[in-house]
Amino acid sequence: MDGRVPQPRVAGRRGADRRVAGTQAALALALALGCLGLLERLLATADRRPAAADLLEAAAAADPPAPAAPPPPGHLLVVLVDGLRVDDAGRLTAWQALAPASGRAVIALPTPTFSRPFYHLLLTGVPPDASGVRSNRFDAPARHEAVPAGVRAAGGHVAFVAEGLDWLRRLHGRPGDGGADGDDALGAPLDDALVRWRAAPPPALLVVHVLAVDAASHGHGVGSAAHRAALERADEVVARAARAAQGAALVVLSDHGHIAPGGHGGPEPEVARAPLLVRGPGLAPGRLADDVDAERLAATLAAWLGVPPPRTAVGAPVTALAPPGTTPDLAHHRRLADAVDAGRRADGDDLARRRAWLVPLAAAALAVAWRAARLPAALLPFALLWPALVVGLHLLLGRPLTHSALDTTALHSTRVAALGLLAALATGAAAARWTPARRAATLVAWSATACALLTSAWAGLALGPWPLDPRARYLPLLALGAAGAALVGVAVVSLVSAWRDCRRARAAIDSGAWADTGKTTRSAR
């Protein structure tokens, strides 16, 4: 014998190779679908009602505030400039004109610093980790009593004006409220709403929502030409509002800032601090040295309207920014805050219990998968290369490991998928220098799955409220998105490999060729 085997044995070996490659591709695609399904599950459960919500409601029902005479009913105009950073607010001409006669402060925002959680917090006084409203997916009426309810109960006027977005109305609006939500709402509809607001008997609340700055920041970044144009538009709206609110209360504020490339949701200082300006009859002007907790805004707004604060408002009004003579029941608000703290601890304990069995279970499953794939321990360093590349490239692109990495949904999803795929190619190429290509692909699939599963287990695997730590909330989403793309890449590479094997086997059979035994054996490994 000359060490060569006949073509039936060659075809049989290549057929086995094709079956292995096909199985590998099918398993990789199934894991990719699992990652995407778990990603959707995590996002869908972000707004689950936490233990703190029930404890807060119980505390408010058992301990109503001490009766106190509220300030007389008044008119309040709130201008919410979405996405306006603290430094950009100071550059607005209208802001500079209002500042000498106004109270000013910086709002300290809780995370996640998304818009809908702030809209809910602004008028209820309940922070996201107590209300459970943590994402922009929340699409239901507010979970807790809000300032507009007090205005309606007093027979007052409520209106919302927003350019092309009705989120505030969905949260806090009721049939019969005035205003407009069309793309042209800041034109003639705003002028009409301002006239109706001034003519209405007190209490009268008008909320004006300016979206241009946020949209420009997301799409083009802070400091871009589009961002500067949006600031000019916001400046014009604030100036119109200031003229209409002469002799009434005016509040100008933002819901969050942006990182320089555009994006918010995390705890970065430029994101989690927002500007606040209050002008009202009898209010002493000046700037507050300390930041104002966002949960105190609802009670402060209610004071200007002359209605009681929402029943579950955790924060007391800021007396330096409220009408003269405002006398909050501080003990009541402190008891509500204690209930929220108890709820946070309960949710934290629940998460810790879930982690105590989810993380070891996930690690055990991954250990079994490693042995089943016959991956040697010497390849373990290469398994760490994929997550290191994903995180390193993510940071290199100027994106933090928090929700502030989200500029727009489409851009973020594309970026994360590209990072996962690029890291998979680099990891596979590096491992292929030490082990056969098919085993290198298996290693990449194991590494991506391990990162997705372990980070999701650390976040509770969507079995309860999200963890409070911003990175623990974001890393599972990053890992799942990148892993899904990497696993699709592994499936494609496996299918291409199987197709190439099929063509080679067919060519060998058609030509009647003989094959070298050593090469065939090496290919089959």
CATH architecture type of domain 74-306: 3-Layer(aba) Sandwich (3.40)
Q: Which of 448, 128, 425 is nearest to 294 (CA)?
A: 128
> For residue range 89-112, what is the model confidence (pLDDT) as tens digits?
999 999 999 999 999 999 999 999
Classify 177 as helix, strand or coil: coil
Helices 7-44 and 437-458, packing angle to 10 deg? 20
**207 — pLDDT class (breaks 50, 70, 90):** very high
Q: Which of 449, 414, 443, 437 is nearest to 493 (CA)?
A: 437
pLDDT of residue 62: 87
pLDDT of residue 1: 42
> For residue range 156-177, what is the model confidence (pLDDT) as tens digits?
999 999 998 999 999 999 999 9
The alpha helices in 90-182, defined as continuous H runs, are 93-98, 115-124, 128-131, 147-153, 167-172
**Above 70 in pLDDT, residue 289?**
yes
- Mean pLDDT of the region 340-364: 92
**Above 90 in pLDDT, residue 133?**
yes
Q: Which residues pair with 277 in a beta bridge?
A: 104, 252
> For residue range 323-339, what is the model confidence (pLDDT) as tens digits?
998 888 889 999 999 99
How far apart CA 368 and CA 362 sit, in angstroms, is 10
How far apart CA 409 and CA 201 sit, in angstroms, is 43
Q: Contact, 78 vs 123, CB < 8 A? A: no
Q: Quick one: how many helices (H) and strands (E) in the chain? A: 18, 11
The alpha helices in 373-408, defined as continuous H runs, are 380-396
What are the structure tokens assigned to 386, written together?
């994929």
**516 — pLDDT class (breaks 50, 70, 90):** very low
Q: Say if residue 276 is exposed, middle or buried (CB neighbours under 10 Å; 0-12, 13-18, 19+).
A: buried
Classify 6 as helix, strand or coil: coil
pLDDT of residue 504: 61
pLDDT of residue 514: 44
**145 — pLDDT class (breaks 50, 70, 90):** very high
Q: What mean pLDDT value characterizes the chain?
A: 89
- Mean pLDDT of the region 408-432: 93
The H or E element spanning position 362 is helix 330-372
pLDDT of residue 24: 79
The H or E element spanning position 226 is helix 225-244
Least confident of 17-26, 48-57, 237-246, 347-356: 17-26
Q: Contact, 397 vs 458, CB < 8 A? A: no
- Mean pLDDT of the region 456-462: 87
- Mean pLDDT of the region 209-218: 96
- What does the buried/exposed string (b/e) look like for 309-333 if buried means 16 or more CB atoms within 10 Å of the residue's CB? bbbbbbbbbbbbbbbeebebbeebb
Q: Which residues pair with 276 in a beta bridge?
A: 105, 253
**26 — pLDDT class (breaks 50, 70, 90):** confident
pLDDT of residue 521: 39
What are the structure tokens assigned to 4, written together?
């060569």
**Above 50 in pLDDT, residue 518?**
no
Question: Considering the chain, what percentage of its residues have pLDDT values greater than 70?
Answer: 89
Q: Say if residue 246 is exposed, middle or buried (CB neighbours under 10 Å; 0-12, 13-18, 19+).
A: exposed
Least confident of 57-71, 119-133, 223-237: 57-71
Q: Contact, 18 vs 500, CB < 8 A? A: no
Q: Most confidently modeled of 123-127, 322-326, 374-378?
A: 123-127
pLDDT of residue 522: 37
Angle at 132 between CA 301 and CA 251, to 5 degrees: 20
Angle at 341 between CA 456 and CA 111, to 5 degrees: 50
**438 — pLDDT class (breaks 50, 70, 90):** confident
How far apart CA 417 and CA 390 sit, in angstroms, is 10
**4 — pLDDT class (breaks 50, 70, 90):** very low
pLDDT of residue 524: 37
Read off φ and ψ for residue 253, nearest 5 degrees: -155, 175
Cβ count within 10 A of residue 168: 25
**140 — pLDDT class (breaks 50, 70, 90):** very high
Residue 14: partners with Cβ closer than 8 Å, 6 or more residues away: 501, 502, 504, 505, 508, 523
**Above 80 in pLDDT, residue 252?**
yes
Which residue, chain included where needed, has tokens 């003269």?
324
Question: Considering the chain, what percentage of its residues have pLDDT values greater than 90?
Answer: 70
**Above 90 in pLDDT, residue 502?**
no
Q: Contact, 486 vs 424, CB < 8 A? A: yes
Read off φ and ψ for residue 446, nearest 5 degrees: -65, -45
Reported pTM: 0.90
pLDDT of residue 68: 65
Rounded alpha-carbon distances, angstroms, from residue 459 to 40, 177, 304, 345, 395: 14, 40, 41, 16, 21
